[in-house]
Chains A and B, each alone.
Chain A
Amino acid sequence: MNRRSLLSALFLLTIAALILLVVHLFAGAYWTRIAIVIGIYSLLAVSLGLSSGFTGVFSLGHTAFMALGAYTGALLTLPVQVKQSTMQQLPGFLATTQLHFLPATLLAGVLPALVALAVGPAILRLSGHFVSVATLGLLLITREILLNAESLTRGARTFTGVLPLTNLWWVFLWGAIAVYVSWRIKRSAIGREMFASREDPLAAQALGVSILRARLLAFVISAFFTGIAGCLYAHFILAFSARTFYLPVTFEVISMLVVGGMGSVSGAVLGAVILSGFKEAVRVLEPGFAIGPIRVPPIYGLAQIAMAFLFILFMMLRPKGLLGDREIGGLFWWDWFRRRSASLVERS
């Protein structure tokens, strides 16, 4: 990493931290919640981009990793007394231990990563649509297991009593780590291999790239961060069930990534910010509103419908998303300023 990109990253982090500090100090609970939601979705979109965007293996099953992370994290931080009253059938050490948030979050990332490592070599050999369908299968299998493993997950009933441990700063920390890791990978040799195997698998193989290795690495790291996002989400909404982690979430995260730009880390964050903001804005309209004398009745589900419309429009008009594979660094304004002053000097 050269000095410039370090500066750029530091600059962005500082800006983000300052914004969050302002939100934390001055904004009310509502805005803090929105900031947390945006952060968690950014984390999800960045992780999905690391796998789907960098290697072109389009996963429809990442929500499975999110669900695994959520359940793992929630089970580990649940106080022992609560476990004894609501989940008597917990096996062994799970029933008697309560971990701190950080180790629980880490384990909530490690378990999905292990699952990805186990299933990856099988499904990542496939390509195109088949890998999408196979990852969708992964989501279905996970859901079925979560719904039926009564002793661990309370089955179809809601998992409640999760401690409210997620705050703005945890989300910021993990988001920053995920962005940093993705960014480093993108600029590294293995990152180039990932992009090469996306653009032309045959040519990449001819150059000695192990496509499976590149894909698997992206998949596992991506599963790790998705699991962590799931854990953060669980400790934010506090009550969830296997139904929470299904196709609507999958679609939202995919939309964010596609709108932002599939191969772009900053694009994923941008997409998450834009679409979460859009969703919240539309959600305000859902209970009904009035334009002058015209009363618009409550429209539930409007947010989803509007997102789907937006998504289809994007697909038609700007299929590569806002940024494509490009990045906006923290110093883009500096470049712009330099170019502008240079052209001014030339003209004079």
Chain B
Amino acid sequence: MSTLETLLQQLFNALSVGSLYAEAAIGLAMVFSILNLVNFAHGDILVLGVYTMIFGLAAGLAFWSAALLGILASALIGLFVERIAYRPLRGAPDVSLLLTSFAVTILIENGLILFVSASPRAFPLPPYLSGFVSLGNLRLPVIDLSVILGAFLLLLVLTVLVTRTSIGIAMRAAASDLTGALLCGIDINKVIAFAFGLGSAIAGVAGIGWAGRIGKIDPFMGLEPVLKGFVACIFGGFGSIPGAVLGAYILGGMEVLLTAFLPSEYSQYRNAFVFIILIIVLLVRPSGLLGKTDKEKL
């Protein structure tokens, strides 16, 4: 491989990883922007979607209808969790919400272990998604290409949704000032439920891409997407959707760079490096790249 080809290959990898992170981060950012809640259970909602999809496949559904079922399940579970666990805590200190979402995570993970089992399951990809496309010396896995394409379409739809529809505009209003939006006659509960449903559905999409790349699923796989989503949100500025997407691609690029250029005995520490960089970013620019000014900084 020539240097240029290596570079292109790495860029492709960064794009595909970044797309997954972006999908995981969007839901987090939407919920945070309105409720100030760091929703730890986001990753487990993603996992439940993937499990639903697996059961759909096992019941004989075609790949795409099963995928749709999984995404729908994610959205419904997101709505359910919001209604049951978070809505009763509206107005409580932020920390209570964060800890509650932690509890929801424990609940979902142990529920999965109890009802499904903790051992990993294979995630079967249809043949047309598991091959490679060869471009010169480049090997581009079809699943990665579809992840990138999917994220692109999703972002397009999301942009239209958030800027052109009334519920999207209401969501942005609620994000900029919850009380103000309430005074303007916006039904806050509807908007928050919408944000949870939409964010969880997008997480469901991320889950399918994630499982497709790894090829197996287990009840604990939700932790990594949610952590990467957090990091992406912080890079971009917590609470800003474009920021979250930007942060996700930066994070993807950084990880690929660290893996490619760190000596191999250090590359196993790449998550540690990412978190160190994160803490530095938080110190230098706590509001992230595109974030609102942070009132919480000392």
B95-103, B119-127, B153-161 - the one binding chain A: B95-103
CA of A321 to CA of B129 in the docked complex: distance in angstroms? 51
Q: Are B298 and A211 within 8 A (Cβ)?
A: yes
Q: Are B106 and A304 within 8 A (Cβ)?
A: yes
- Please name all residues of chain A whose beta carbon is closer than 8 Å to the beta carbon of B230 when the two chains form the complex: 133
A165 at interface by CB-CB < 8 Å: no
CA of A136 to CA of B93 in the docked complex: distance in angstroms? 19
A131 to chain B, nearest CB (A): 9
B185 to chain A, nearest CB (A): 28
A308 at interface by CB-CB < 8 Å: yes
- Please name all residues of chain A whose beta carbon is closer than 8 Å to the beta carbon of B36 when the two chains form the complex: 129
B283 at interface by CB-CB < 8 Å: yes
Q: Are A134 and B279 within 8 A (Cβ)?
A: yes
B63 to chain A, nearest CB (A): 31
Closest to B117 in A: A300
A164 at interface by CB-CB < 8 Å: no
A45 at interface by CB-CB < 8 Å: no
B84-92, B166-174, B245-253 - the one binding chain A: B84-92
**Interfacial residues of chain B within 261-298, with CB under 8 A of chain A in the complex:** 268-269, 271-272, 275-276, 278-279, 282-283, 286, 296-298
CA of A140 to CA of B271 in the docked complex: distance in angstroms? 8
Q: Are A126 and B297 within 8 A (Cβ)?
A: yes
Q: Are A305 and B99 within 8 A (Cβ)?
A: no
CA of A140 to CA of B273 in the docked complex: distance in angstroms? 11
Q: Are B283 and A122 within 8 A (Cβ)?
A: yes
Q: Are B297 and A315 within 8 A (Cβ)?
A: no
Q: Are B275 and A58 within 8 A (Cβ)?
A: no
- Please name all residues of chain A whose beta carbon is closer than 8 Å to the beta carbon of B259 when the two chains form the complex: none
Interface residues on A, range: 35 or more
Q: Are B298 and A201 within 8 A (Cβ)?
A: yes
Known: A140-B227, A148-B268. A128 touches B103 (CB 8 A): no
CA of A58 to CA of B96 in the docked complex: distance in angstroms? 10
A200 to chain B, nearest CB (A): 12
- Please name all residues of chain B whose beta carbon is closer than 8 Å to the beta carbon of A144 when the two chains form the complex: 268-269, 271-272
- Please name all residues of chain B whose beta carbon is closer than 8 Å to the beta carbon of A60 when the two chains form the complex: 102
B111 at interface by CB-CB < 8 Å: yes
Question: Which of B107, B238, B275 is close to A141, meaning CB atoms less than 8 Å apart?
Answer: B275
CA of A211 to CA of B2 in the docked complex: distance in angstroms? 54
CA of A108 to CA of B55 in the docked complex: distance in angstroms? 47
B149 at interface by CB-CB < 8 Å: no
Q: Are B103 and A319 within 8 A (Cβ)?
A: no
Q: Are A127 and B103 within 8 A (Cβ)?
A: no
Q: Are A247 and B114 within 8 A (Cβ)?
A: no
A37 at interface by CB-CB < 8 Å: no
Q: Are B106 and A315 within 8 A (Cβ)?
A: no
A287 at interface by CB-CB < 8 Å: no
B94 at interface by CB-CB < 8 Å: yes
Write 23 A-B pairs (CB below 8 A) sorted by A numbering.
Answer: A122-B279, A126-B286, A129-B238, A130-B238, A133-B234, A134-B279, A137-B278, A141-B275, A141-B276, A145-B269, A201-B298, A211-B298, A247-B106, A258-B99, A305-B107, A308-B110, A311-B103, A312-B104, A315-B89, A316-B88, A316-B89, A319-B89, A319-B92
Query: 15 other contacts beyond A123-B282, A251-B103, A311-B103, with CB at 8 A cut-off?
Result: A56-B95, A58-B98, A126-B297, A127-B298, A130-B296, A132-B95, A134-B282, A140-B227, A141-B275, A148-B269, A251-B106, A300-B113, A301-B113, A312-B100, A315-B89
Closest 6 A/B residue pairs (Cβ) = A137-B275, A301-B110, A141-B272, A308-B107, A128-B296, A308-B106
